Structure 1
Amino acid sequence: MIIILIDGQSGSGKTTLARELAEETGFQLVHLEDFYPGWAGLAAASQMVATDVLHPVQPGFWRWDWERNQRARWVPIRAHTSLIIEGCGAVTGASISAAEAVGTVITVRILGPETTRRQRALARDPGYAPWWEMWAAQERVHFSGPGHVAVDHVLGLA
Structure 2
Amino acid sequence: MTTISTLAAAADARSRDGFALVAVDGMGGAGKSTLAAALAEAHGAAVVHGDDFYRPMDAQERAGLDPAQGYQRYFDWQRLRDEVLAPLAAGRGAAYRRYDWSTGELAPDEIHTVSRSGLVVVEGVYTARPELADHYDLLVYVDTPHAESMRRLRERGHDHGPIDWESRWRLAEEHYVATTRPRERAHLVVPGH
Regarding TM over 0.5, the answer is yes
Q: TM-score range by the shorter chain?
A: 0.7 to 0.9
1:27-46 pair list within 5 angstroms? 27-37=45-55, 43=72, 44-46=75-77
Aligned residues: 152
Per-residue deviation at 1:157? 2.0
* Cα deviations by residue, 1:8-57 (Å, 9 ceiling, x for unpaired): 00111101111001111112111112232268575433333322221324
Return closer, same or farther for 1:138/1:88 CA change in 2, 3 Å cut-off: same
User: Residue 33 and residue 121 in structure 1: after superposition, are their counterparts in 2 closer, same or farther (change >3 A)?
Assistant: same
Which SS does the other structure have where 1:49 is aligned? Answer: helix
Question: 2:40 maps to what in 1?
Answer: 22
Matching of residues 136-147 of structure 1 within 5 Å: 136-146=170-180
Q: Tell me which protein shows more strand as a share of its residues.
A: 1
Corresponding residue of 1:122? 154
Distance 1:142 1:51 in 2: 21
Q: Residue 105 of structure 2 aligns to which amino acid in structure 1? A: Q
Question: For structure 2, which runs of at least 5 residues remain unmatched after alignment?
Answer: 1-18, 63-69
Q: Given the two structures, how large is their TM-score scaled by the length of structure 1?
A: 0.82
Where does structure 1 lack aligned partners over 5 or more consecutive residues? 100-104
Counterpart in the other structure of 1:154: 189
Larger radius of gyration between Structure 1 and Structure 2: 2
